[in-house]
Structures are given as structure tokens and as C-alpha cells.
């Protein structure tokens, strides 16, 4: 039986519902899938859309990644959020960014189920590539919630691939925030390479992801980090991919790739200081697809991620990601049906083109400092990783 080119696993209600003006916003992945549908991507040959599993991932499957005591605590605060006022809730990461609410455990575990389903399709050969656009929580630890999520969905996808019998899985994190949870969960596991390109932890949450973080004692060379300076833009991401990500992943030779495709480095995103633009994103997706085709026969599990101006970068970026994964060409103008849906969702002036973007205001001094900082960041990463991956030696 010929495998699918792409399986898309999604349901509009997926995601966390913290409320109270919390930065998480389901419109970002809802409008992305709406554009996939309006642009004909989901109807292309070899593509299948599948509603996410209606059930939460069972505790025994979650426990392949997370501490049983942590899962019990999340169930407890989910069932009775008033208990989250007790001091020990903080040790589990509940409070602040991750406030408890009824159904919290179920929401997060159902997102994990969607990501697990996508990974399982690739692991079994049902699909060459799979996309779960509502997934991508990457800060959570094995025993603590962090960063707008409860359970770490990227780690779940990786673990499903490992449990299928794969011996090497590469994880590539393009989000503006360091993929700290995923890195630390697998820091001593030589089967998993974690690669993260992000704004430096000197300036942005979670305060980690420096070049010296290259893997634990049991897995040297299993982590790679490019920590970019504030106001780095498109060229910085292109260089990070070409000079670090691609050669390191080639050297690791994985059997499958998992990517977190956050676009919160966009210049209009309110939660970072980087200034990438819409034309960059199709380039990133093309590079990732070519890399997967080269090193692991195309096996690729893609998840969403950050993007906190929900009607700006994420919808078009993730629909373009689906198009690249499906091998579908898309063309301007954007479908008018989708533009109307964007108006209904709150966008006053929806874009006409896939990569339409006025870009950041020019600033010669800012861009010079960012370019110099990018030179240093990439050099530091290449020096740190060169003893494990000769192809990146400066």
C-alpha cells in the first residue's frame, strides 16, 4: 500500500484554554487549517485530513515521558483548580503562565494524543510526513509544566518514534524561545539529537539554550543551540540553518525528524525581539523538507508552536508548511473565502498574498549590531559542536 504523502491531524478545539487574555489563542491554528482547506492543500493527491483523537492520551502513554507523580498532580489541579493555590503547586509549574482550570489535564493530554497520532503514522509507514498544527508545546519538563503548556507535546512525538523501534531521531526547534524542555528530557539520551535556533536566553525566556549545552555525559553531541541576538532577522535564520542545523543533522543521520515550527520570531510578534518576515518561512520549510528527504527518506513529523499575533504570521506560515510537506504549489492571491473568514475572526485587513509583509522599519545601526551578534552566535555554536560534527568546524 502506497503511504500518504501527508497526514494532517487536527481539530479546531485543540489547545489550552487558560483564558483571561492569555497569549495562547486557538485562532492561529484554526485559521491555518482553514487556509489549507481553502487553498486545496487538504484535497491534494496523497493528502488526508483526520480529526484529532477525541480521547486524551492515556496516563500510561504519558508516563513514557512524564513522571507519574507529575501526571497525578496535573489531574488533581485539573479536577479541582482551587487546590492550585497551595504552595506545592509551584513545584509542578502551576501558576503564572500555566494557571489551573477545569479540564486542563484533558486539554493538554488530547493535544499530546494528536501529536502522538501524527508521529505514529510516520513510524508505521502510513504516511511519509505528518502535521499536527495545534501541537508544539516544548518547554514542559518531565516533572514540571512550563511556558504556556502542561505536557511537552514535542517530547511525546519523539517518544512515539523511539518506542516504534527507531534508534535515532532528530528534533529541530525553530521557535524564538529555546526548546528547553525537550532538550533536557533527552539530554542524556544518545538516540535523540535536539537542535534549537532561538533568541538568546540572555534576553528571552526560558534563559537557556547556550552553545555550551551540547548533551549530557551519556550523550555528548546530542544537543545543538544557536542563540541569536535581539533584532536578528531572515538572514540570521538562513545562516543558522545552512551553517549549523543542516550539517549537524546530516552528521547525526536520523531515521526521522520532528520539527517545532514556531513563528514567534516574526517582527510583529509581541513576545520576542527578533524581526523575521513572511518570505522567510517557505524557505525554512523547503530546507527542512530537503533535509528530511536527504537523511531519512522524507520521514518528518511537524508540529506548530509559538506565534502570538494569531492572525498575522501563524495561519499563512503553517498553511505554507502543509503545502511544502504535501508537495503542493500555492499561488497568490489568497482565497477570498479565507480572507472573509479572517475578517470574521477579527482581522481588519487580511493579506492578499502568501508572503505579503511590509517588514520592520529600517534601522542601519540596529541591523549592523544584529549582524555582528549573529556572526558571533554562529561562530560560538560551530566551535562548540565542531568536535562532534567536523562539518561545522569553523
- The residues annotated as belonging to the active site are 139
Q: Which residue's entry shows cell 498532580?
A: 73
**Partners of 256 in the β-ladder:** 169
What's the gap between Cα 74 and its chain centre? 23
Q: Which residue's entry shows cell 530546507?
A: 287
SS3 state at 290: helix
SS3 state at 161: helix
* Half-sphere exposure in the Cβ direction for 200 (13 Å, CA): 19
Cell of 364: 542601519
- Neighbour count for residue 24 (Cβ, 10 Å): 17
Burial of 163 (0-12, 13-18, 19+ CB in 10 A): middle
Q: Are residues 183 and 213 in contact, defined by beta-carbon separation less than 8 angstroms?
A: yes
Close Cβ partners of 42 (under 8 Å, ≥ 6 residues apart): 8, 33, 36, 49, 322
Close Cβ partners of 293 (under 8 Å, ≥ 6 residues apart): none
**Partners of 225 in the β-ladder:** 196
| CA-only gyration radius of the chain, Å | 20
SS3 state at 224: strand
Cell of 389: 560534527
Indicate the DSSP class of residue 42: G
**Partners of 228 in the β-ladder:** 199
Close Cβ partners of 27 (under 8 Å, ≥ 6 residues apart): 310, 311, 315, 345, 346
Residues present in the chain in total: 394
Cell of 7: 497526514
Amino acid at each position: 500500500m502506497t503511504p500518504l504523502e501527508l497526514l494532517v491531524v487536527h481539530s479546531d478545539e485543540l489547545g489550552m484554554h487558560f483564558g483571561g487574555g492569555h497569549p495562547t489563542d486557538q485562532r492561529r491554528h484554526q485559521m491555518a487549517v482553514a487556509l489549507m482547506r481553502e487553498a486545496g492543500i487538504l484535497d491534494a493527491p496523497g493528502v488526508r485530513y483526520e480529526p484529532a483523537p477525541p480521547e486524551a492520551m492515556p496516563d500510561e502513554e504519558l508516563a513514557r515521558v512524564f513522571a507519574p507523580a507529575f501526571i497525578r498532580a496535573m489531574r488533581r489541579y485539573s479536577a479541582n483548580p482551587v487546590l492550585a493555590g497551595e504552595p506545592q503547586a509551584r513545584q509542578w509549574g502551576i501558576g503564572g503562565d500555566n494557571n489551573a482550570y477545569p479540564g486542563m489535564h484533558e486539554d493538554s493530554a488530547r493535544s499530546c494524543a494528536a501529536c502522538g497520532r501524527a508521529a505514529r503514522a510516520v513510524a508505521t509507514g502510513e504516511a511519509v510526513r505528518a502535521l499536527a498544527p495545534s501541537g508544539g508545546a516544548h518547554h514542559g519538563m518531565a516533572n514540571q509544566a512550563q511556558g504556556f503548556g502542561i505536557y511537552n507535546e514535542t517530547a511525546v512525538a519523539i517518544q512515539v518514534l523511539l518506542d516504534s523501534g527507531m534508534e535515532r531521531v532528530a528534533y529541530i526547534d525553530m521557535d524564538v524561545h529555546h526548546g528547553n524542555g525537550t532538550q533536557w528530557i533527552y539530554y542524556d539520551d544518545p538516540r535523540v539529537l535536539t537542535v534549537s535556533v532561538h533568541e538568546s536566553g540572555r534576553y528571552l525566556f526560558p534563559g537557556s539554550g547556550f552553545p555550551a549545552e551540547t548533551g549530557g555525559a551519556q550523550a555528548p553531541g546530542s544537543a545543538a543551540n544557536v542563540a541569536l541576538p535581539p533584532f536578528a532577522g531572515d538572514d540570521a535564520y538562513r545562516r543558522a540553518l545552512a551553517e549549523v542545523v543542516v550539517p549537524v543533522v546530516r552528521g547525526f543521520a536520523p531515521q526521522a525528524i520532528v520539527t517545532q515550527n514556531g513563528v514567534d520570531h516574526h517582527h510583529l510578534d509581541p513576545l520576542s525581539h527578533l524581526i523575521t518576515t513572511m518570505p522567510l518561512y517557505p524557505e525554512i520549510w523547503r530546507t527542512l523538507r530537503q533535509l528530511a528527504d536527504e537523511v531519512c527518506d522524507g520521514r518528518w513529523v511537524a508540529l506548530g508552536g509559538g506565534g502570538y499575533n494569531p492572525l498575522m504570521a501563524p495561519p499563512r506560515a503553517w498553511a505554507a508548511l502543509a503545502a511544502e510537506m504535501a508537495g503542493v504549489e500555492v499561488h497568490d492571491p489568497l482565497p477570498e473565502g479565507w480572507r472573509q473568514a479572517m475578517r470574521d475572526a477579527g482581522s481588519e485587513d487580511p493579506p492578499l498574498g502568501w508572503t505579503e509583509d511590509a517588514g520592520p522599519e529600517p534601522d542601519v545601526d540596529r541591523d549592523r549590531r544584529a549582524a555582528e551578534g549573529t556572526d558571533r552566535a554562529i561562530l560560538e555554536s560551530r566551535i562548540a559542536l565542531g568536535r562532534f560534527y567536523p562539518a561545522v568546524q569553523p
